Amino acid sequence: MSRRLIPFAWSAAVMAADRVSKLWVQATLTPYDSWVIVPGFFNLIHTENRGMAFSLFADADESTRRFLLIGVSLAVMAFIAVMLWQAAARPAERVQSAALSLVLGGASGNIYDRIAAGAVTDFLDVYIGEHHWPTFNVADSAITIGALLLLLDMWRGRARQTAVA
């Protein structure tokens, strides 16, 4: 397989893991059904998010929501795919390629839900006492980890440039 295609295969694997996990939740839990996994810390709960992160735009009218959440997401995904294609050609950019693969795979999983169902299935509920993190999914986790890796890679690059200068 071409060096440039491997990161896209990883993105497809992330999307597949996201789809499988969401299908399992949809088949196993009714909406808003909750299973306690680790008391006081972690539950599985079946929710549907019509908005984006933190339910932003969830209450917007359908045409605005579709344009913002599908149209803009597709444009951003195209930009990320171009960046990934370029990074994959450079062996020194492995961290950047891995990060972009995670972001693209996660974004693909969530955009699939938005196009197919008009909402994203979320189910991972992390909390401590009454303090809950917004419910999320495998795609959201991949996007977050990818973004953190990109930040780390930029920080390491800046540190290398400073050391050379």
Residue 1: pLDDT band (50, 70, 90) is low
Total number of domains constituting the chain: 1
C-alpha to C-alpha distance for 62 and 93, rounded to whole angstroms: 40
CB 109 within 8 A of CB 19: yes
Active-site residue (options: 18, 113, 125, 140): 140
Please give the helix or strand (H or E) that residue 138 lies within, else none.
helix 138-164
Whether pTM > 0.85 for this model: the answer is: yes
140 is catalytic: yes
Confirm if 105 and 142 have CB atoms less than 8 A apart.
Answer: yes
Out of 18, 122, 125, 153, pick the active-site residue.
122
pLDDT of 52 reads 66
Decide if 80 is inside a domain. yes
Residue range of the domain that includes 91:
6-164
Q: Which residue has the higher pLDDT, 2 or 45?
A: 45
Residue 1 resides in a domain: no
pLDDT per position as a tens digit, 78-90: 999 999 999 988 8
Confidence of residue 56 (pLDDT cuts 50, 70, 90): low
- CA nearest 48: which of 136, 150, 164? 136
Q: Is 33 a catalytic residue?
A: no
The amino acid at residue 87 is: A
